[in-house]
Structure 1
Amino acid sequence: MALFGLFRRRPHERSGFALYTAAVEAARDPGLFGEDRVPDTLEGRFDLVALHAALLVRRLHRDPDPRGPALAQAVFDAMFADMDLNLREMGVGDMSIGKRVRRMWEAFHGRALAYEGALAAGDRPALEAALSRNIWPEGAPEGAVSGLAAHAMALDATLAGQAFGNFAEGRAEFGIPA
């Protein structure tokens, strides 16, 4: 019987992947990219996926349902399984995958903490500073930071208004136009 346990899915794995997929789809909205927005680069795409996933994880952690943290962990696990797979598909060698994924984890963790702190305090200038520092370290185009901060705050409110049962079933609505 113990051998069969190796093949069982974790309780929230399927929902975690579905939620992560929804976050990625929202992060790939073409309206978020452009000359006066987030650069359409590997780094810019990572930053938007990190932002959307962080908002989703924040929402799941704030829910009083005791499954919230486990579901948030499932989203996180799905994200980094996807990052590992993407690096392999890009041809990154097996010997450096672990180091690259660790750097991505550290980048995500730092961003998530900065965004969480700003959102929890309702501090839009702090959110703008964190977004600017992470996405446009060389300087942002006019209005890009405030536009993305407004987008993030609207998404945070949209996610907060959704029932936990939808998340547990792998459904999240990010339906905010960029």
Structure 2
Amino acid sequence: MALFGLFRRRPHERTGFELYGAAVRAARHPAFFARLGVPDTLDGRFDLIGLHVALLIRRLHRDPDARGAALAQAVFDAMFADMDFNLREMGVGDMSIARRVKTMWEAFHGRAQAYEAPLAAGDRAALADALARNVWRGALPEGAAEPVALAALAFSTDALLAQQGMPQFLAGEARFAAPEDASS
């Protein structure tokens, strides 16, 4: 009987993938690239996905329902299972997958931490600075409008996610603010 336990899904695994998918769909909005000038590269796409996932995980961790933390972990697990899969699809060799995924995890973790303090403090300027460093790799002039707009979107998304309840998340649904919804 113990052998069958190896093939059972973990709690919230499917829901984690559904929530992660919602974050990815939101991060792929064409306006990020066309209007905000986010680099349409692997790094640029990773940064947008990371921002959306970090906002979702932040919301789930703040929920008083104990399932919030489990869902947050499921979203995180889904993200890095997807990163592993995508690296393999791109032809990265098996021997370097673990190292690359670890590097991506460290990048995501660092960014999530860099965004958390400004979000918690309501400091749009500090968040815009962190986004300019990470998303545009410091290539924009100081005070550029694009990071300010992306910071406004992050705050809008954070507020929108806060309005959504655990039943919605448990159903695998999450709504994110679209780039045209953000106000500076």
Asked whether the 8 Å contact 1:131–1:149 carries over to 2, the reply is yes
Contact kept in structure 1, 2:47 and 2:135, CA below 8 Å: yes
Aligned equivalents of 1:31, 1:122: Cα separation in 2: 24
**Corresponding position of 1:90:** 90
| 1:34–1:40 Cα contact (<8 Å) kept | no
Answer yes or no: is 1:41 the counterpart of 2:41: yes
Residues 8-49 of structure 1 show CA distances to partners (whole Å, capped at 9, x for unaligned) of: 111100100000000000000001113752111111000000
Give the 3 Å change call, closer, same or farther, for CA 13–144 of structure 1 in structure 2: same
What is the number of equivalent residue pairs in this alignment?
A: 178
Matches of 1:6 and 1:116, distance apart in 2 = 36
Contact 2:36 2:150 in 1 (8 A): no
Counterparts of 2:65 and 2:117 in 1: how far apart (Å)? 22
**Letter of the 2:56 counterpart:** L
Percent identical pairs in the alignment equals 67
Superposed CA deviations along residues 104-157 of structure 1, whole A, max 9, x for unmatched, are 000000001111111011111111111011012232263111010011110111
RMSD over aligned Cα atoms: 1.2
1:23–1:53 CA contact under 8 A, matched in 2: yes
| Runs of 4+ with >4 A deviation | none
Aligned equivalents of 2:18 and 2:41: distance in 1?
24
Which range moved further: 163-172 or 22-31?
163-172
Structure 2 residue runs without a partner (length 5+) = none
TM-score of the pair, normalised by structure 1: 0.96
Q: Which amino acid aligns with 2:157?
A: L
Secondary structure (helix, strand or coil) at the match of 2:139 reads: coil
Query: Which residue of 2 is the match for residue 20 of structure 1?
Result: 20
SS of residue paired to 1:77: helix
Q: Please say if residues 27 and 49 of structure 2, whose CA atoms lie closer than 8 Å, have aligned partners that are also in contact.
A: yes
| Counterpart residue number, 2:132 | 132
